[in-house]
Chains A and B, each alone.
Chain A
Amino acid sequence: MNPDAPLLRIRDLYVSYAVRRLPGFSQNRLQAVRGVSFEVQNGSVFGLVGESGCGKTSLARAIIRLVKPDSGSVHYRDFDLSHADAPRSRQARREIQYLFQDPLASLSPRRSIWQTLLEPLLHYRIGNPAGHRTRVGQVLEQVDLLTDVLPRYPHELSGGQRQRVALARALLAEPALIIADEPLSSLDVSMQARMLTLMRKVQKETGLAMLFISHNLAVVQQLATDVGVMYAGELVECGPVDAVLRKPAHPYTQALLDAVRRPASGGLSAPPLRTCAPPGSLTTAPGCSFHSRCPHVMEHCKIIRPHDNFLIATTATGGKHIARCHLWNS
């Protein structure tokens, strides 16, 4: 296997859902993900940002095939996940672990934490049974939990403890990639900070790669090496975190940054976006999907769909910085 090949490579992925035909809409499929391409390198953290409903979760679920993509490809290591044979599928299932938003929903209420944590070891036949308790103990320590949580049930734990149990369960499968879908949003600020510190520590120690989904750019900056910004199903900007956050190229990224930036002296800084909601993904209006909210809208933005424009690589790592916007047409 080529050591320089990306761990995960997504090419032109489309996901849609069948919906009831609504009055005024010509089609009855909701386009959740529209032509997304990006790569996650070994040992890096890719932060995926966007508002609710922009398709982040659909994209993540399509990667692990919880939903079936319409078209496009997902390559994991050197094979295509949609055409992988059984052993390779099994390998990918183990190596790509998913951390869900709400741990109370993703942990079984009827199993003790010990039973929950034992499951990946038994299922993937990792280690020998005599070593299971030691292994679980090690991973619990890694996520800052004491072994006294083992006989307890999810409802007896705090939100922060539950999310750490979910992380421990993912780590026990010895993954190469963790897909974390808004893992912090059910926690309060202090717990968020601890979880974030913990995830950074675990990522550094184990060298695993992460696809980290969040709606908050400030959170993503804490962890990510690369960032992708999604809007209405499209990846509108993508690149190394420094380049994207310091020199945002897409007006939508700029708006997101304004929403979390610290105002210099009290009060609100930036005015909110022009309209309140992104366009319904049911419409296939021509032009750029952001044009109705964009402060820099031009005539041809309303007619022609922009393509990916490469910006000059701005970082030492030479990562590609891409914006899907007419402002950068050369």
Chain B
Amino acid sequence: MSPAYGEPVLAVQDLRVTLGARAGGVAVVDGVSITLRAGEILGLVGESGCGKSMTGAAIMGMVPGASGQVSSNSMQLGDLDLAQLDESGWRRIRGSRMSMVFQEPLTALDPVFSVGSQLLEVIRRHQPASRRQARSVATTMLASVGFPDCERAMRCYPHELSGGMRQRALLAMAMVCRPQVLIADEPTTALDVTTQAQILHLIRDLARQAGTAVLLITHDLSIVQAVCDRAMVMYCGRVSEEGPADALLRYPGHPYTAGLLAAMPRLSSGPVEPVQGIPGSVPAPGQRPAGCSFSNRCGRADHLCRSQEPVLHSADPEMSDSPHRHACHHPLAHPIGSATA
């Protein structure tokens, strides 16, 4: 029943997450709208503390009710209204229709159960399968994430695997029910570059095969460049720029996106371009400057930026419905028409 490639599977309108009860709480995610389409990978980018992980957690219904409030205009997974789900409803969805991969697989896997038993648990919980059927599904899944010896892998405990293999095991668990949505929160940050490339390939291939929409949370734009179809840059809980990954990386409109790009070391065959960091740091939630939240770190900021908050608008002045949009009063100029090229 997986939807056709490119069809919207998850639509979140105006998502807000507030933490803490003091004085109405502090908004850590503030009006984020996301649409995920089957088989595509959306990169959610930003520095630590910009609200990207919290956005992922809110979509998975994992913001603890005691400390945070989640609200939205609508949150739809296909025809299912996620906002109406109670905890038992969420448990049926998580792992079957939506699943998640975390940054540190060693803490996401249970150290006292073998990989096989953790994988079987997911299958048996969500699918009407006999023990034997579940076992065959599990071994097939382990083979498809690249375990050379599946029978042995089933018996392995997490500490016996390397970082890359652990992340593969976690991916197997996340993808075994062919979910509609996969949220991958910094899945390759703990891995080194060659393993990183393999895991990203794997996520992309699995998502294409199963028609899964992927929300890939990362601070690294080179990952966006490598595998993402679209990208969304977040700053201080708001979307500062979004669009097709190619256009956004080639013609960044928001100075924050440009800053992240300048911070990315790239191999060059000519003289080395020194990287440049963005001065300052992400303000703590609740201490955002008035107007544009990036204005205190931005070289282009003026009086307008400090008084009035910019809204997301088309990056192409000639096309008001361009998919490439940014929230900036003084965006970087690019050749006309290039924003959607």
Contacts and interface: CB of A to CB of B under 8 A. Distances in A.
Interface stretch (B173-181, B261-269, B287-295): B261-269
A289 to B, nearest CB: 15
Interface of A: 51-53, 158-160, 188-197, 200, 215-219, 221-222, 245-246, 255-257, 259-263, 265-268, 270, 272-273, 275-277
Contacts of A221: 265, 267-268, 272
A256 B275 contact: no
Contacts of A215: 192-193
A221 B270 CA distance: 11
A158 B281 contact: yes
Nearest first, the 8 closest Cβ-Cβ pairs linking A and B are A194-B277, A193-B263, A193-B277, A215-B192, A193-B275, A218-B265, A188-B219, A272-B198
Given A194-B277, A268-B226, A159 B267 contact: no
20 contacts: A52-B192, A188-B48, A192-B263, A192-B265, A192-B277, A193-B263, A193-B276, A194-B277, A216-B193, A218-B267, A222-B275, A245-B267, A257-B267, A259-B196, A265-B246, A268-B197, A272-B201, A273-B198, A276-B148, A276-B195
A268 B267 contact: no
Interface stretch (B112-120, B158-166, B298-306, B323-331): B158-166
Interface centre among A196, A219, A222, A276 (most CB of B within 10 A): A276
Interface string B200-241: 110010000000000000011110011100000000000000
Given A260-B267, A261-B267, A189 B162 contact: no
B282 to A, nearest CB: 9
Contacts of A197: 274-277
A197 B162 CA distance: 32
Interface residues of B, number: 46
Contact of A276 (B164, B245, B264, B281): B164
A273 B191 CA distance: 15
A268 B263 contact: no
Given A193-B277, A200-B274, A268-B200, 20 more contacts: A158-B281, A159-B48, A188-B219, A189-B264, A190-B219, A191-B47, A216-B265, A217-B193, A218-B265, A218-B267, A260-B193, A262-B222, A262-B225, A262-B267, A263-B225, A266-B225, A268-B226, A272-B197, A272-B198, A277-B164
A135 B165 CA distance: 48
A189 B220 contact: yes
B134 interface: no
B146 interface: yes
B3 interface: no
A276 B164 CA distance: 8
B222 A260 contact: yes
B194 A266 contact: no
Contacts of B198: 272-273, 276
A190 B277 contact: yes
A contact patch SS = helix
B55 to A, nearest CB: 16
Contacts of B164: 276-277
B280 to A, nearest CB: 10
A16 to B, nearest CB: 19
A214 to B, nearest CB: 9
B328 to A, nearest CB: 18
Contacts of A218: 265-267
Contact of A190 (B194, B222, B259, B269): B259
B169 interface: no
A229 to B, nearest CB: 12
Nearest to A271: B201
Which has the most chain B C-beta neighbours within 10 Å: A190, A218, A268, A273? A190
Given A51-B195, A197-B275, A189 B226 contact: no
Contact of B197 (A159, A200, A259): A259
* A53, A193, A200, A222 interface centre (most CB from chain B within 10 Å): A193
B172 interface: no
B322 to A, nearest CB: 18
B29 interface: no
B50 to A, nearest CB: 10
A298 to B, nearest CB: 22
Contacts of A195: 277
Contact of B192 (A51, A222, A246, A266): A51
Contact of A262 (B47, B266, B276): B266
A276 B225 contact: no
Contacts of B146: 276
B158 to A, nearest CB: 16
A107 B43 CA distance: 34
A268 B219 CA distance: 18
A89 B266 CA distance: 39
A245 B197 CA distance: 19
Contacts of B11: none
B265 A268 contact: no
Residue from B191, B227, B266 whose CB has the most chain A CB atoms within 10 Å: B266
Contacts of A259: 193-194, 196-197
Contact of A263 (B165, B220, B226): B226
A193 B278 CA distance: 8
